[in-house]
Structure 1
Amino acid sequence: MPQRLTQLPSHTQADLLLILTTLLAGAGWIFSKEALQGFEPVHFISIRFILAGLLLVLLGYRSLRRLTVTEFTQACKVGGLFSVAMILWILGLNYASHVGIGAFLTSLGVVLVPIVSLCFGEKPDRSLWLSLPVVIAGLGCLSLDSHFIFGIGELFFLLAALLFAVFFVMNSRYSARIATMPLTAIQLLLTGIVAFSVSLFMEQQIWQQTASIWGWLLASAFIATSLRFYVQTQAQGMASSSHAAIIMTLEPVWTALFAAFWLHESMSLLQFLGCLLIFTAMLINRWKVIWQLIRPASHITS
């Protein structure tokens, strides 16, 4: 981490790292979409995460050796959950017709975080119940739009969102106790191994690709995966899951902007309204934490 960044307060460091995470994540949607022009979806995700995981294993070999059996087991548990979520996500990206809308559907995992937290003994805030009708209204706008078809790709995105919510809560808990490098390396490498095993039974292994396809894959592996998840795991260890989830809501916004610029996607009025309602629901869901962040600033200005 740059020295100037380390001199900032820890909460500010976490915020900046999480914003960087959302930018890398948004770019990753485009990298992956381009790579899918040549690779089968699960085969692609397996190569992407094996490469990303191996890089972090090499960089963090010493820290991996220092892991206890309990820490290694916890890292594998989160990694196994993440692998299933990523397989569902890449299948969604492969079959869905609109990347920007898919990003907002996947981001519903943020709304589901407090619901999942119930299973870990946390009590949900009233904002959760206020956000749910807004989510339903947003999904309703998408379903009513004649140009939008809710197909198998969108279903994969929603299932992935549920698993990402579970992963987010568990990862926030474990990242506070396990070093960032080994935790991230195990998660990524295990995801690649699981995906490759699934791909062997589901898909044809096509290795002969153009240089551009390999370029997109390498960008996905090292920029949108190794770097992105290392930064995210480090940031989550410095912030609560609720605080981190607020900033992570920026990911679908960046994704939609990147998709509009690179893939020339556009949204109808109903589609835009649906995505706006989903984004609003995410903010309502985190309003209590947002208000706590706003209050100190208002005291300082007054």
Structure 2
Amino acid sequence: MNTLARSPWQADALLLLVTLVAAAGWIFSKEALAGMPPLWFIGTRFLLASAVLACFAWPALRRLPARQLYRGAAVGLLFSGAIAFWVMGLEYSDHLGESAFINSLGILLVPVVARLLFGDQPPRTTWIALPIALCGFALLSLNAGFRIEPSQLFMVCSALLFALLINVNTRVVRHLPALPLTTLQLLVVGVVLTTLSLLFEHEPLALSPAIIGWFLASALIASSLRFFLQVKAQGMTSPSHAAVILMLEAVWTALLAAVWFGESMTLLQLLGCGLIFTALLINRWYWVRKVLLRWLPR
């Protein structure tokens, strides 16, 4: 019996843990940014995370031919842009829950980008979900007084680049082993963004034991551990099934932000986030239904 057939519940449990760790990463990162410039924080975080993962991935990395290494590194450059917009959005964000839901639009935009750039035909549910998501984003913008805040714009740009990144990953480097590919991409992100920070960021570091602790939690738990568990879990189930469970990251982020920072949502924010999450469910309805059928008692 293959792995997919004999370990569905283990995969679901691991993916749920991944979403919780990823949501905690929003809290860790926001706290660390209180004492570190954003590009320096995310660059050094990914350098440390890639070093940890390299301990596991080094034998596989050494066996990769140069052509595959170049492809993985090139995709890492795209990852650098996506994560740079994300951390800038996080820096300016006053509401982590809202930012997490906006960033989750990247999942919805994956088939749209595939249609525009690669000619793929998205499922009908995508075209139903897209206007619902746009209405949700419009409500979030109305909450700011008929304007788009910088943090919202950064998160939308990040979502677009993450949608492009997922498409490129599945086409350009689909045959590369997941763990060495992840390690290589994190390393490229770390080198690129740390270099950009040295060139353009001039804010002084305000390091304290607490800031260092949040930084280490971001690198070791929210990056190294998160990606290690995600790679393992995704190897035990299908990509579409995994994507459905990973959508819960925005929900956990909003809940953790409410507990940790005392955040609350206005009615417009609740409606906007609710519409975005509804759009994500509609877009993945075939797989959502399969997940529900697996979880519900018979």
Measured in 2, the distance between the counterparts of 1:21 and 1:296 equals: 19
Deviations 1:43-80 (A, max 9, x none): 10011001111111233221211112232123212221
The Cα of 1:238 is off from its aligned counterpart by 4.3
- Where do residues 254-293 of structure 1 align in structure 2 (5 Å cutoff)? 254-293=252-291
State the partner residue of 2:185: 187
> Do residues 110 (structure 1) and 107 (structure 2) align?
yes
State the partner residue of 1:243: 241
Deviations 1:81-135 (A, max 9, x none): 1111111100000012211100000000011011123234532111001001211
- Where do residues 4-83 of structure 1 align in structure 2 (5 Å cutoff)? 9-83=6-80
8 Å Cα contact 1:127/1:284 also seen in 2: yes
Please say which of residues 150-159 and 229-238 is displaced more in the overlay.
229-238
Match of 2:96 among 95, 99, 102: 99
The one-letter amino acid of 1:83's match is S
The one-letter amino acid of 1:94's match is E
Q: SS of the residue aligned with 1:192?
A: helix
Measured in 2, the distance between the counterparts of 1:91 and 1:51 equals: 20
8 Å Cα contact 2:38/2:87 also seen in 1: yes
8 Å Cα contact 2:37/2:205 also seen in 1: no
Q: SS of the residue aligned with 1:265?
A: coil
The one-letter amino acid of 2:53's match is L
Measured in 2, the distance between the counterparts of 1:297 and 1:259 equals: 27
Measured in 2, the distance between the counterparts of 1:148 and 1:97 equals: 17
Please say which of residues 205-214 and 98-107 is displaced more in the overlay.
205-214
Measured in 1, the distance between the counterparts of 2:147 and 2:98 equals: 11
The gaps in structure 2 that reach 5 residues or longer are none
Please say which of residues 85-94 and 197-206 is displaced more in the overlay.
197-206
The Cα of 1:201 is off from its aligned counterpart by 1.9
Please say which of residues 276-285 and 223-232 is displaced more in the overlay.
223-232
Q: SS of the residue aligned with 1:232?
A: helix
Distance 1:51 1:296, change over 3 A: closer
Distance 1:170 1:235, change over 3 A: farther
Q: SS of the residue aligned with 2:120?
A: coil
Deviations 1:212-233 (A, max 9, x none): 1000000000100011122223
The gaps in structure 1 that reach 5 residues or longer are 1-5
8 Å Cα contact 1:176/1:238 also seen in 2: no
The Cα of 1:207 is off from its aligned counterpart by 4.7
Distance 1:78 1:262, change over 3 A: same
8 Å Cα contact 2:79/2:189 also seen in 1: yes
Distance 1:17 1:68, change over 3 A: farther
> Do residues 87 (structure 1) and 89 (structure 2) align?
no
Distance 1:18 1:168, change over 3 A: farther
The one-letter amino acid of 1:73's match is Y
The Cα of 1:172 is off from its aligned counterpart by 4.5
8 Å Cα contact 1:79/1:187 also seen in 2: yes
Q: TM-score, normalization: structure 1?
A: 0.89
Please say which of residues 51-60 and 86-95 is displaced more in the overlay.
51-60
The Cα of 1:295 is off from its aligned counterpart by 5.6
The one-letter amino acid of 1:192's match is G
8 Å Cα contact 2:71/2:173 also seen in 1: no
Distance 1:113 1:11, change over 3 A: farther
State the partner residue of 2:143: 145
Q: TM-score, normalization: structure 2?
A: 0.90
CA RMSD in angstroms, aligned pairs only? 2.4
Measured in 1, the distance between the counterparts of 2:14 and 2:145 equals: 37
Deviations 1:235-275 (A, max 9, x none): 34444443322112101101001100001111011111110
For these two proteins, the number of residue pairs brought into alignment is 295
The Cα of 1:179 is off from its aligned counterpart by 2.3
Please say which of residues 201-210 and 71-80 is displaced more in the overlay.
201-210
